[in-house]
Structure formats: C-alpha cells, structure tokens
Chain A
Amino acid sequence: MKIGGKLVLCLVILLIVLPILSLVLYNLEVNPIITILKKPDVFINSGLNTFYLLTITVFTSIIFGLFPAWFVSLYNFKFKTLVDFLMYLPLAIPTYIMAFSYGEILSFTGPFQLFLRNYIPALSPFFNMDYLTIEVLGCVLGFSLFPYVYAASRISFTLIGQSYIHLSKMLGLNALNTFFKVVLPLSTPAILSAVFLVSMEVLNEYGATKYFGVNTFTTEIFKTWYSLNDVGAAVGLSVVLLITVMTLYVFEQMYNAKTKINYKENTQLDYTFKKTISATKPILFCIIPILFGFIFPFIFILKNAIDNILSFNFIDTLSLAFNSISLSLLSSLLIVLVLFYILFVDKEYKARASKTLNIFSSIGYAMPGAVLALSLIIMSSQIKNNITSISLIGTFFLLIHAYFIRFMAVGKSPIKSSIDKMPDNLSESAKNLGLGNLGLAKKLYLPLNKFALLTAFLLCFVDLMKELPMTLILRPFNFDTLATKTYEFAVEEMVDLSSVYSLIIIFVCSVSLFIVKRINHN
C-alpha cells in the first residue's frame, strides 16, 4: 500500500514535471540571465510594475479581508450569517470579468459618470478622469481576491480560542490592543499563506493587466513569446517567474515553520468576546468590500444581461453551461480522488509524501496558465514523436491533465488539514478490529473527511468554472465553455453580449461557495 501510494505520488510528480521539463529541454538555448541582460530596461520596468501592482493588491486585500474577519469571527450581530456569506462571493466572479466590468462602470459612458452628470453635475468634472491605471487595477484585483485573506483570517481567529483572549483581557488590553498585540501576531502564518495565494493570482493575471495597459512580468512573457517569436527567451522569463514564486513559497514555509503556534486544542471557541453588538460597526467594515467586490459588478452584469436578453440563444447557452459544468465536475472529482488517495497513504503509512506534494502542487499553481498549456502541447508532441503514435493534443485528456496540474494546490489544503487532524489511534483501533486498507478508506477516512473532501471538490469546481487560458488553447474542436464564450465577446469589445454567460458562471460559483460555507459552518 505504501508503495502504491508512493507510485501514485511519483506519477503525479511526473505529470507535473514532464511538461515543464519538455518546455525547457525543447528550448535548450534558454538562459534566463542572458534574456534579462538583453533588455535590462524592459525587465526592470515590468518587474517594478509587477511589484507595485502586487503591493497595492495585497494591501487592499488585507485591509478588506482582515478587519471584517475580526468582527465576524469575534462578535455576534444582526445579519452576521448573511454578511459572512457575502464576503466570500467575490470569488465567484472571474478576475478578468471584474476588470472589464470596472473598466466599463468607471468609463465616461459608464453608469458611475453618467449618474454624476445627470444628478450631481457640479461633481462630474472632478471624476472625469482616466481610470485605467495600475492603482485602480490593483484595487480591483484586491476587491476580487480579498476573500482569500478573509477566509484564512476567519479560520485563524476562530481557532485562537478563549485562553489567549482571556489572558490579554486580564492583562488589561482593550479590544483594539488585543487585536494588534495578540490576535494579529498569532494569525500571521495564516494571513501570509493567503497573501501567497493572492500574489499567485496577480502574477498569473493576463487579461486584466493587458486591458489596463499595465506591463507586468507575465505580459512580458507573452510579448516575448508571441510577438517577438522568441520562445527561448519567453521560457527563460517563465523560469525566472517560477524561481521568484518558489522563493516566496520557501520563505512562507520557513516563516510558518519558525512560528509554529499552539492553537490550544479543544479550547472553548465560543468565548466571551463573542458578545452581541450593534450591527453598525461590523457592517460598516464589511459593506465596502461586499459592495465593490460583488454587488456593484454583479448589478452591472445583471443589467447588461437583461438589456441583451433578446439576443441570447437559450439552447446554445444551455449547452455552454452543460459543457462548463460537466467538465469542471469531472475534473474536480478526479483531482480530489487522487489527492485523497495520496494523503490517505501518507497519513496511514507515514509516507512523508505531503511535503513533496506541497512543493509540486505549488509549481503547478505558480505557472501562468497559458505557459502551462503550451508546455503540455510540447510534451504531447514529444511523446508522440518518440514514444507512441497517439496524439493527445485536442483531447479532453490533455485539458484535464492541465487542470489537474494547475488546481491540485487548491484542493490539497482542505483535505490535508482535515486528515492531519485525525488522531492516529483511531485508525489503529480500526485496524485492530480487522479493517483492511479499503475498509479504512471507506469506513473511516471517507466519513470523517467527507466535508473536507466536498469543500476541496467545490473549491476546485469554482476555479475550473472560471478557467480560461488553458481551456482556450487545449480544447477539442467545437467545444466552448461559458468562460471561452465570454472571452470571445470581450476580445471583440462586446462585453455586454457575454453577460448572460458571466452571470451563469457567477450563479453556479455562488451556489458552490454557499454549500462550502454551510458545510464548514456545520
């Protein structure tokens, strides 16, 4: 069994490493240093832009994720459940749709400036400005990604437990000081992990940055690859990006290992701080991220969908929704099954696989989707030329392979943390009672971790519903999804006409997030 688990892990690692290796081997002339030295200005500029954009996005997502999480975790107030749920919903809107929507909302012909011109004309000249800037993009991305910080802080704040808070109160600290001096330092590792996820998303962003005219490292990779036709240099730049991400990852892991915090197992979580307070203050803190992260773009898209409802072909839309949902369901199921198997063997046989899995799943998450897709195409043609005569390009097999590499990291965390929490003696007793491996998995691991598995499944599902660059390039003939159709309209500057498709994506993702929320609440 242990060998079986290791074999599956090796296979997974191979699935991740092979495309990257073929990408690099295929371009042996790759030398990141030379690539950078050739054009130091361009490299420094895009590097600085990326850093600046990252800073704004991370800052915005911390501000709008952290403080609301504090209120929702530690106080009871009216509409708390609703507010808590709404805080997750920005995840239901793909970032490129969010960016295009804000581009339109803020433009001179958009609803914001139109409202000012019609109702507050005195103010309108002050707001007639250029909104397609790196700062606005940073904020839009921050509003789109703050739920990562919110979710991580929520969990961490809830786990801190009664003793720390009591102690801090006894030592005379008020709520504000308790937050900054006790809760925040204790939650840093969780927040740092969330910031890492936010950074990954920003580094991968392509559509939104291009639209806002911001040259980042990723846009530079694509320019080098496509416009300059210099695959070697593009691969070189991708390697630099990968190394940067891995450095960030190692830093995050090291920091978290150093500051291992004893969350006080079994402490009473429902502590006295959880008093009922007036809803004004918490809602005030939550209203901005909810409005900007979900309500405004959602209303804008809804209005467009209603305006254009006559131009929609119901049957076509239904078939697109079916394609998106079935492919996402299938792929998430596969990802969760494989992860469950590896982590089960890891726990049961102390196979020490999870660390290796951590690193490799992060590599997949760190690569820009389009680079990953192209490396899979190169890999498939190498396999076809040298090993078998079957070509996988243009099959669902390759598409799901790409999804698997990219989204393994998303599914891994909930399953891992749930399996980690299982006491060792539980499976010992089960084994003594005569349960085999299959029985253990079926009768012990599956029921005990079913919520984590479902959470992982739904989180992958949400990300897959939104996925665009890999689906575009790897999909089979005549296969469209809601995301690819939305993109086609966006490229032709007809975002309005894609709003029904965006709306379905948002609806399906919101329902999935609602289920995730319910599961974890219960």
Chain B
Amino acid sequence: MKNLPLYILIICSLCGCNNKQSDIVNLYSQRHYKVDEIQYEKFTALTGIKVNVVKSNADELIERLKNEGADSQADIFISVDAGKLQKAASLDLLQKLSDDIKTNEIPSTLLDKNNLWVPLTYRARILVYSNDRVNVTELDSYESLSDEKWKNRILVRSSSNAYNQALMASVIANNGIDGAKKWSQGVVENLARSPKGNDRDQVKAIYAGLGDVAIVNSYYIGLLLSSEKDEEQKAGEAVSVFFPNQGENQTGTHINISGLGIAKNAPNLENAIKLINYLLSEEAQKTYVRNSYEYSVNKNVMPSEIVQKWGDFRIDSLDLNNLGIFRKDAIEVFETTNWK
C-alpha cells in the first residue's frame, strides 16, 4: 500500500512504451480526419501491420522529433503544410525517400526536388465571393485584392494561421519581399473587419453581408455545402468559388499539400515504405477524395462531385519548399503591414 504511487508510475510508464515490434509503423501526424483512420484500418487489414499514431500540431511534433533524436520511435512525419515538411527536412529530421516509393502518377510540380517528402493530397487557397454583390468579372488575382475597389470588402483569417503564412510565402517567392509588403498593405487597407475566426467564418461573414470576398481553403467550402445545418448550407450557397491567377502571365492558384516524410531514424523503415505506397495507391487516393474535399495527387483520380463542379484550374508551379523557406519573411511582412 505504502508504495502504491510507485507501482502506479511503473505500470504507467510501461504502458506507454510501445517497444519495437516487427509488425508496426509509427506516425507523428498533423492529419486527424476520419478518412485517415479508414486508411490505416484498411492498410492493417491488408498487411497485418499495425499503425500507431500520435496526433498534434506540426510544430510540436517537429520539436518532439528534434528532441527525441536518434531513438525516436517515429517512422513517418505527416503534415498538412509543405512549409512544415520543409522545416522538418531543414532540421535534418527526415531521410531521403527510397526508390521503392512509387511516385510516377504524381505531377512533378507537387514533388520535392530534394526527395525528402512526398505529397498525399492537396488543397487550393481560393477566393469566394458573394453571389449578390460581386460580379465574377471583377475578380482576377490575389494581387488585385489590393485594388482600391475592394475597400472594406475583403475578409480573411488572422496571420497566425499556417495557410495564410503559406500563401504569403508564395507571394514573396513570386513577387519579392517588397511586392509582398505592398500587396499585404493593400489587402489590410481593404479589409471589411480585422482578421479573425476560421475559414468557414469568413464565408458566413459574406452571407451576413459583412464583406464581399474572402480568401479561404477549397476544403472548407465543401464542408459548408455538405453541412447538416440549413443555415450553413445557405452560407455555402450564397458564395461562388473563384480560382485566382489563371491568366496567361499569371502564376496559377496557390495550393498547399498534405504530405509525409520518413523520419531520419525510422525504426520500421520497411513498413513505413509499405504504408506510403499504400496511401499513394489509386485505391487509397480514391478513399481520400471520397471522404474529404481534398484533391488527389494521383493524376488519374478525380475529386469529389462537389469539388468537380468548381471546374479545373491551373496550380501555381512554385517549388513548394518555398512555403517553408519564406515563412519567416512572411511573418515579418504580416507584422510590418499590421495584418493581425
């Protein structure tokens, strides 16, 4: 009885140690959707390999990987932002991908030039506009959002959000830091309200008449349109989707991937490769698009019905590592131009 706490602690710490087994693969993942659970269950049913997951935000997982060093249990690091994969790679936390990983169906613009990470799905950072108050011909590019005609009409979430940071990093990579500052300044001056809320809140704000155009991720429009709540569906229907920067001399719409890399000291390397190949397979890619509103990285897999209705678009062919490389500069631009 006297030593009860001690026993409890010993039992607890033992419970926590998942010691090396041959039939497991360990993931540090920022993805935590229902569809991921479905994928892992299917993979386990197919191969008998158990998928262990610890889910948190990407930066915390990177800190954990960094500190665990050589004896980290992690095999795969998954993020929903190419910038974070680049960050992990630059901290030497990822290893070169083996030739056994089948990437031949993935467009080369989505692949890492250094072969340290591979994409799973992607989303576009699009514009949505009020059906009542905006004529689609008024819209053009991200850059044109700084035009004076948009004064008090633009909605966007705060600069602490990773998707906005990635967008700003792409603007810096495409237009240089001064161009980005000018653009950011213009957008801030045109804001209908100070940046806040999440992506869905921006659409609701258009529906409420608080603003006319919002910068959001395509994924969340799909969520709104399929919501069980009438009012949310109405909000989704009150807006239309616009893919910016589609002109001939323009960059294409900014996208970001969710992707993965193999941890530097992955203890279950073979199983990790098997899982990655499974997730890139046509079957698994179909599962992704069927259960979420993301785009598949496999050229042969079409997006979900709702997403297909928005039509095709040209993606920005920028090397996605830039979303990480220019991250610090992006924050600085946000700070100097007072994008909250």
Give the B-binding residues of A (Cβ under 8 A). 39, 41-42, 103, 107-110, 113-114, 128-130, 132, 210-213, 215, 219, 222-223, 225-229, 307-308, 330, 333-334, 337-338, 370, 373-374, 377-378, 380-381, 384-385, 391-400, 472-473, 475-480, 484, 488, 491-494, 496
Q: Can you show 9 pairs from A to B with CB atoms below 8 A apart?
A: A108-B235, A128-B210, A213-B194, A213-B196, A337-B4, A377-B63, A396-B13, A396-B15, A493-B220
Asked, given contacts A395-B12, A488-B55, whether A227 binds B160 with beta carbons under 8 Å apart, the answer is yes
The interface of chain B, by Cβ under 8 A from chain A, is 4-5, 8-9, 12-13, 15-18, 26, 32-33, 52-57, 59-60, 63-64, 67-69, 71, 73, 87, 157-158, 160, 162, 165, 193-201, 204-205, 207-210, 220, 223, 228-229, 231-232, 234-235, 327-328, 331, 335, 340
The answer to whether B67 and A229 touch across the interface, beta carbons within 8 angstroms, is no
Given A395-B16, A493-B199, A108 contacting B194 (CB threshold 8 A)? no
CB-based contact B68/A381 at 8 Å: yes
Q: Would you call the interface of chain B mostly helix, strand, loop, or mixed?
A: helix
- Is the beta-carbon distance between B207 and A488 smaller than 8 angstroms? no
Q: How far is the CA of A13 from the CA of B194 in the complex (A)?
A: 44
Bound together, the chains give a CA A211 to CA B195 distance in angstroms of: 10
Whether B71 lies near A374 (C-beta < 8 A) is no
The answer to whether A397 touches B68 (Cβ under 8 A) is no
B340 touches A213 (CB 8 A): yes
CA A274 – CA B48 in complex, angstroms? 70
Give the residues in chain B near A210, CB-CB below 8 Å.
158, 160
For A473, the closest partner residue in chain B by CB is B60
Q: Are A211 and B71 in contact (CB under 8 A)?
A: no
| Most B Cβ at <10 Å: residue of A129, A212, A223, A396 | A396
Cβ B17 vs Cβ A395 within 8 A: yes
Residue in A closest to B161 when the chains form the complex, CB atoms: A210
Residues on B with beta carbons closer than 8 Å to the beta carbon of A225: 59
Nearest B residue to A108 via CB reads: B208
Q: Are A400 and B158 in contact (CB under 8 A)?
A: no
A215 to B199, CA, bound (A): 18
Q: Is the CB of B9 within 8 A of A227?
A: no
With a CB–CB cut-off of 8 A, which chain A residues contact B64?
377, 393, 473
A394 close to B73 (CB less than 8 A):
yes
Whether B231 and A114, one on each chain, are in contact in the complex, defined by CB atoms closer than 8 angstroms, is: yes
Beyond A391-B71, A477-B53, is A396–B12 a contact (Cβ under 8 Å)? yes
**Which residue of B is nearest A389, CB measured?**
B71
The reply to whether B18 and A330 contact each other, CB–CB distance below 8 Å, is no
Q: How far is the CA of A380 from the CA of B157 in the complex (A)?
A: 37
How distant is B92 from chain A, measured CB to nearest CB, in Å?
14
A490 vs chain B, min Cβ distance (A): 9
A381 touches B234 (CB 8 A): no
Contact partner of A107 (CB less than 8 A), chosen from B16, B71, B204, is B204
Contact B69–A381 (Cβ < 8 Å): yes
Assess whether B209 is in contact with A484, with CB atoms less than 8 Å apart.
no
